Chain A
Amino acid sequence: MNIFRLGGDMLHVVSIFLLLLKIQTSHSCAGLSLKTQILYMVVFSTRYLDLFFTKPWHSALTFYNTIMKILFLSSSAYTIYLMQKRYKHTYDKVHDTFRIQYLIAAAAVLALIFHLRLTVFEILWAFSVFLESVAILPQLFLLQETGEVENITSHYIFCLGGYRTLYIFNWVWRYFTEHRRNQWLAWGCGTVQTLIYADFFYYYILSRKQGKKLRLP
């Protein structure tokens, strides 16, 4: 564990907290993409299958990972519940039209071609990594459709992007300190994912400089 990874994970937790805070305080999920949340649910549930096989108390790191994995899975499920049940009437279904089945299919094909080992777990893991790298797209697409972006929604995306950026630093750090060399899959997809966020950052910072509300082109 290094400071970059810990910082990244904490930003990830903050982003989830912001998301739930936005929904709970405004009693609305307007501007949020249910499709992105569903993709994250798929990502977490295909990546964290090792929860069933790893002893949480094996080491401090597995304990930490277990807690975080359960947190991500449960908060993701709760967010979907809020959007689909409790605040369903505020959900912007008309604009949230990104076709996620194509993303899922593409991630599945890529995972079948590129994986670290030919096992079900490794292929599902690769699938989750591919899918995570594009999971934010429906959310960005929705923001583009509706134009103006609420502050808290942009903070949510900003935190997610920060989490990905810190993970890249984490990988550079581990490359040199632990000589981790075989993580090309996570590195490649993580970089693509970060670039998608960088595009959002650009407009976010632009709107900040002009002191205006964020508008995506």
Chain B
Amino acid sequence: VAAESGHDEL
């Protein structure tokens, strides 16, 4: 899920 939307930050 995270990688898909590019949420790779905290």
Contacts and interface: CB of A to CB of B under 8 A. Distances in A.
Contacts of B10: 9, 12, 65, 68-69, 72
Interface in B1-10: 1-3, 5-10
B6 A54 contact: no
A136 B10 CA distance: 17
Given A9-B10, A186-B9, 13 more contacts: A5-B9, A12-B10, A50-B1, A50-B7, A53-B1, A54-B1, A65-B8, A65-B10, A68-B10, A72-B10, A116-B5, A167-B9, A182-B6
Nearest to A170: B9
Contacts, number: 35
Chain A, interface size category, equals 20 to 34
The secondary structure that dominates the A interface is helix
A130 interface: no
Interface string A66-82: 00110010000000000
The secondary structure that dominates the B interface is loop
A127 interface: no
Interface of B: 1-3, 5-10
A125 B6 contact: no
Contacts of B5: 116-117, 121-122, 125
Contacts of B1: 49-50, 53-54, 121
Nearest to A174: B9
A89 interface: no
B4 to A, nearest CB: 9
Contacts of B2: 50, 53-54, 62, 65
A117 B4 CA distance: 11
A183 interface: yes
